[in-house]
Amino acid sequence: MIGPKAAFFPDFHFTPFGRLPGIEIHANAIATLLENRAIAEALPNPNQQGIVVFLGVAAAGLMISKFSRRATLRSLLALGLATAWVGAGYISFTYGGLILPVAVPVLAIVLSGLSFLVTGAVADLLEKLRLRRTLERYVAAPIVREILDQPENYQTLLQGRKLKVAVLFCDIRGFTTLAYKLPAEQLVAQLNVYLNAMVEAITEARGTIDKFVGDAVMAEFGSPISQGEKNDALNAIRAALGMRQSLATLRQQWQQDGKCQFYNGIGISYGEVIAGNIGSLQRLEYTVIGDAVNVASRVEGLTKHFMTDLLITGALYELIQDEIEVVFLGEHPLRGRDSLTPLYSVVGFKGDNPSLYHQVHHELKHYLNATESDESDSEVMP
């Protein structure tokens, strides 16, 4: 090829490699064709480009969505896939002379990663708020914060798990008789005051309110967060003794106000349960089910028979026998169990003043005897 290269000729043009004379640009083009090194579109058909880009971006999005539930990991995977696509385009262009679509798919993958990051962060925030509202109905605020500070585990706490917990049942003695005696408004108001005091005693001892069944309260210690078997058992005793003290204080106040007196029975067992969100699609409740729950309910029912306010099983006593004063009541059958169950009436922690225990038992015996007399009189009435 023949052509001018002198600087004063106006035949210079800008190229990616600087200003070159026209004759050299033509020479390079011919050499490229002769050596079969021409750059070409890998997918010359626009429809093919669209299909490949769509499938590639869709596959990348599917990989990102299936990779992990954490938004941060998804965004990092999106960045890695975008980088890989850019690398593939560079290799194809440099060593194969083929131009792959790069800008649109890389931008789409990066934006999808950012969308996963934003939506994941918002979803995590909403999930934490929902879980906080759910747990704060049952659990003390410090335990809720402890649960939410575990980013890997807090979402799995509501799923089914096997745990060892202390289960507490509490019921008002002679409540049916009280319901007949008191006006509905007074009964509900007084019951709410009573339940509020019981709940405060349970949550202060790091317990979880499971449910209310009329005047009865069910709680567990060790679910959803365990403090260790011995500490869970001790927390259950602390809650029960706090409930005893709170109710005694309420009775003094009610006596001054001329209101009816409430006495309760508390039964506590220790054992394995299944914990999780249980219920229908319309209503789910965080609860525990299992043999320990049934035993605690049966033991609470026996408090009336033994005329005591606090009974525990042998399984619970073995964990904390060095910490509490008890009265052994022997081994007794429980409905639904083949073996006998050792039962203990709890006086208090070792070194505590036992005067409240004796006072409550003295008053409870008189109350139960009076209640039984009222029920007997009502049964013979025409």
Q: Which domains does the chain have, with CATH numbers?
A: 12-125 (no CATH), 156-376 (3.30.70.1230)
Tokens of 174: 């002679």
Residue with tokens 């605690």: 296
Print pLDDT tens along the chain (382 aa). 887 877 777 788 888 778 888 888 888 888 887 877 777 777 777 787 788 778 887 887 787 777 766 667 777 787 888 888 888 888 888 777 778 788 888 888 888 778 877 877 777 777 677 766 666 665 555 556 656 666 555 556 666 788 899 999 999 988 888 888 888 898 999 999 999 999 999 989 989 888 888 889 999 999 888 889 999 999 999 999 999 999 999 999 999 988 888 999 999 999 999 987 777 766 767 788 999 999 999 999 999 999 999 999 999 999 999 999 999 999 999 987 888 999 999 999 999 999 999 999 999 888 888 776 554 444 433 3
Residues linked to residue 171 through DSSP beta bridges, in sequence order = 265
Q: So what's the pLDDT on residue 372?
A: 62
CA atoms of 303 and 331, how far apart (whole Å): 14
Q: Are 241 and 349 in contact (CB under 8 A)?
A: yes
Q: So what's the pLDDT on residue 381?
A: 37
Q: So what's the pLDDT on residue 149?
A: 65
- Provide the 10 A C-beta neighbour count for residue 158: 17
Q: So what's the pLDDT on residue 45?
A: 78
Q: Are 23 and 1 in contact (CB under 8 A)?
A: yes
Quick check: pTM over 0.85?
Answer: no
Q: So what's the pLDDT on residue 378?
A: 40
Distances in Å between the alpha carbon of 209 and those of 174, 227, 236, 242? Answer: 23, 16, 12, 15
CA-closest candidate to residue 213, choices 140, 322, 287: 287
Residue with tokens 């208090």: 348
Q: So what's the pLDDT on residue 137?
A: 60
By the 10 Å C-beta count (0-12 exposed, 13-18 middle, 19+ buried), 278 is classed as middle
Q: So what's the pLDDT on residue 220?
A: 92
Q: So what's the pLDDT on residue 380?
A: 35
Are β-strands 40-41 and 98-99 bridged in parallel, bridged antiparallel, or unpaired? parallel
Buried b (16+ CB within 10 A) or exposed e, 39-72: eeebbeeeeebeebbeebbeebbeebeeeeeebe
